[in-house]
Chain A
């Protein structure tokens, strides 16, 4: 039987890791290498050779990204996605550019050459611009002239023109502009700009504002929970029961570190640290779960994440819209991902899955308290959706699942499962790369090892 059990655990571990690898590896935002190549080629087309190894960074506009996703839900990334997200490439020797995720040039700026060529007459500027830019963007002949201006700096005449272009990827009603600057007869910069349809962006911005308002209720609930924890801690002190101040300080420090690594605002880091520290330090120690029950953490985290990753497709099939749960983390690296995935696990789980059920147990039972915690938790991280209730329902499902994990496997299991789940959900919104993949897969492995380790200790 022991052999069979070990085989089963090993199979479960392999399945979890395989699922985590499948959901993680290759799912980040790609196109970094293509971007460097495309920008380099474009500069060559403009007669400029950039020097050095460039620095690349991802930049994006979350509201526009969500608006695009809502209008064209289900479609793949196309050129128009530069409106929402771009790779910026900066060369140390001067010159920078931007490309879309699919590698189309979005913007370029090169240093002004010492000899920019002969100055052009106003009447010939438009033709010259189109000819020179066509080396980079072949559809330049189809652009529609909107406005232009010229001025003189020293001996060089500068021209700036704005064109309207038809981007195939943009939804109906969205407009694309391109601005080209020339010094003498050299193209110095070109830059695209997208003007979204007001109602498309409005729906998303409205939902964002609504969710920010609803989040205040969740924060209020956490604050009141903290008051309850403080009162319970005062009782512990009054009755001379054991208070784990050092444990509280350690938990608070860990939460603070995770928040800082996740580049969260200081007030959020402080609130999270106080929550984690107060719950661990002031409340009686949570009951130890039966040996081996922590094995539930990794599979539960992976299962919930897979279900939530599949949910947008289900909602779309039902006629609604639900974007991926995690917002864009443009400047995100492995450290930020680790911070963002463990911060909610370390701060919310102790309060929502341990403190609230314990405090409300005399009034509503453990599950009553856990459901109150789930209701508050579902207000903390929802994303804009149509209808709004789809996002809230998804968050509620995640929180109820974590409550079930906490009930079966204890608080540690809930923390581990939440960390794994958040990691898998947030991974696609970061740039692709093996380091970030490793952070998520390592979290799954750690969650599993925690269960195995516990089992061995219990067996002794």
Chain B
């Protein structure tokens, strides 16, 4: 009797159902719904907002950005998940003309008492006021400063993974094995599709939209950066191809379980922003293939670096996994993909890594999003993936 399908189901179910403590709260609404909330409830009157250009998940809320096509000002709004009033702030170019209000008039404009720090800023053709974070430019109320999103430290894991990637690339040249170009073709196709839908994913470039920069230039910058990165990935995959090998169902099921656990343990904030896109399945596909490829190369490198340890290799990998769970944070998914793929045979590393990444995305989305569209898509991917693994298990001898 073939028990492999049952093992597949158990491993995937374990990854999906093992109880874990929540690290971030689920986003209750999509960025588009949050934007509607802002447009209906608040914001500066008498000022053209332009289109909704970008969004970003920040803690327990959405940061949203509108900018008109001339780019001379932009509007940022923070919509928190709990029922709090929406906070917004207009950023205006310093050269925009206005009036030079006295302090009392400026205070009257924003109905502010005379407490807190007050700063006056003389611009070339107007006067700005800052009343403890509430700002006025000329005769225009700019709103209140929004909380800064703290920049995260990269930590040691990206360096470790980059080192393994370098070692893997060298290994693939020195010990090439039987290279297949199907992965490279699939990767190139997915990245080409990603570039084709790039206009709909520029909403992820929250930091690129700046005052004074026309939105089309910001979008062009994002597109050009994406093209450069994709071209570099394809060139890398052409030079350092993936080894040919047949996948094993139970191995992949274990990878799927590990990916689901990694995604649920440490969901990534950028994943929540991606979930707000309509082209999210295509982004997921490109990320699975690109990150899966890179993780496979890094896994080959890590495997060869640990080769002198022989049987102790698995013990070291287990220790590294424990360390990753404790300290990797948002890098847990890529680290899990590399560590898991380095535990399997070289020729099956790409399948294992891609499976970990795919189910890491599913797990992360299910743990961090609470609105229906991404949950539906993640569930579909989960069911389709599990079905594919079960079919593979049935077909295996």
Q: Give the B-binding residues of A (Cβ under 8 A).
A: 195-196, 198-199, 201-202, 205-206, 209-210, 213-214, 216-217, 220-221, 224, 227-228, 230-231, 234-235, 238-239, 359-360, 362-363, 372, 376, 379, 388
The chain A residue with its CB closest to the CB of B70 is A206
Closest Cβ–Cβ distance, residue B151 to chain A (whole Å): 16
Contact A230 B239 (CB under 8 A): no
**CA gap between A156 and B355 in the complex, in Å:** 85
Partner of B229, one of A195, A198, A220, A362: A220
Task: Determine chain B's interface SS by DSSP, over half rule.
Answer: helix
Contact B235 A359 (CB under 8 A): yes
Kindly list 13 other residue pairs between chains A and B, CB separation below 8 angstroms, not including A217-B224, A230-B166, A231-B239. A198-B124, A198-B125, A201-B124, A206-B93, A206-B213, A209-B213, A216-B221, A217-B225, A217-B228, A234-B166, A363-B234, A372-B231, A376-B228
- B238 proximity list for chain A (CB < 8 A): 362-363
Closest Cβ–Cβ distance, residue B385 to chain A (whole Å): 31
Chain B CB within 10 Å, residue with most, of A198, A201, A359? A198
Q: List 6 A-B contacts (CB under 8 A).
A: A209-B212, A210-B212, A213-B218, A228-B236, A239-B174, A376-B228
- B220 proximity list for chain A (CB < 8 A): 214
Contact B166 A360 (CB under 8 A): no
A220 with B228, Cβ < 8 A, contacts A202-B93, A213-B213 known: yes
**CA gap between A205 and B71 in the complex, in Å:** 12
Closest Cβ–Cβ distance, residue B172 to chain A (whole Å): 10
Closest Cβ–Cβ distance, residue B386 to chain A (whole Å): 36
**CA gap between A231 and B168 in the complex, in Å:** 10
Closest Cβ–Cβ distance, residue A233 to chain B (whole Å): 10
Closest Cβ–Cβ distance, residue B251 to chain A (whole Å): 29
The chain A residue with its CB closest to the CB of B233 is A224
- A202 proximity list for chain B (CB < 8 A): 72, 93, 95-96, 212
Closest Cβ–Cβ distance, residue A120 to chain B (whole Å): 29
Closest Cβ–Cβ distance, residue B249 to chain A (whole Å): 34
- B214 proximity list for chain A (CB < 8 A): 206, 210
Contact A196 B124 (CB under 8 A): yes
B309 within 8 A of A: no
Contact A235 B125 (CB under 8 A): no
Contact B124 A228 (CB under 8 A): no
A213 with B208, Cβ < 8 A, contacts A206-B71, A220-B228 known: yes
B145-158 interface mask toward A, CB cutoff 8 Å, 1 = contact, 0 = none?
00000000000000
B90-134 interface mask toward A, CB cutoff 8 Å, 1 = contact, 0 = none?
000111110000000000000000000000000011000000000
Q: Give the A-binding residues of B (Cβ under 8 A).
A: 71-72, 93-97, 124-125, 166, 169-170, 173-174, 208, 210-214, 217-218, 220-221, 224-225, 228-229, 231-232, 234-236, 238-240
- A195 proximity list for chain B (CB < 8 A): 124-125
- A206 proximity list for chain B (CB < 8 A): 71-72, 93, 212-214
Contact B125 A238 (CB under 8 A): no
The chain A residue with its CB closest to the CB of B222 is A217
The chain A residue with its CB closest to the CB of B220 is A214
Contact B217 A213 (CB under 8 A): yes
Contact A214 B239 (CB under 8 A): no
**CA gap between A216 and B205 in the complex, in Å:** 14
Contact A209 B124 (CB under 8 A): no
- A213 proximity list for chain B (CB < 8 A): 208, 210, 213, 217-218, 221
Closest Cβ–Cβ distance, residue A373 to chain B (whole Å): 12
**CA gap between A217 and B93 in the complex, in Å:** 23
A388 with B95, Cβ < 8 A, contacts A230-B166, A363-B238 known: no
Contact A205 B225 (CB under 8 A): no
Closest Cβ–Cβ distance, residue A239 to chain B (whole Å): 8
The chain A residue with its CB closest to the CB of B162 is A227
The chain A residue with its CB closest to the CB of B225 is A217
**CA gap between A376 and B71 in the complex, in Å:** 25
- A234 proximity list for chain B (CB < 8 A): 166, 169-170
Closest Cβ–Cβ distance, residue B190 to chain A (whole Å): 17
- A199 proximity list for chain B (CB < 8 A): 95, 97
The chain A residue with its CB closest to the CB of B228 is A221
Closest Cβ–Cβ distance, residue A340 to chain B (whole Å): 25
Closest Cβ–Cβ distance, residue A440 to chain B (whole Å): 33
Partner of A216, one of B125, B211, B225, B236: B225
A231 with B169, Cβ < 8 A, contacts A198-B97, A198-B125, A213-B217 known: yes
Partner of A198, one of B96, B174, B221, B235: B96
**CA gap between A376 and B225 in the complex, in Å:** 10
The chain A residue with its CB closest to the CB of B72 is A202
The chain B residue with its CB closest to the CB of A221 is B228
**CA gap between A231 and B162 in the complex, in Å:** 12
- A231 proximity list for chain B (CB < 8 A): 166, 169-170, 236, 239-240
A198 with B95, Cβ < 8 A, contacts A209-B212, A217-B221, A376-B228 known: yes
Closest Cβ–Cβ distance, residue B221 to chain A (whole Å): 5
- A227 proximity list for chain B (CB < 8 A): 232
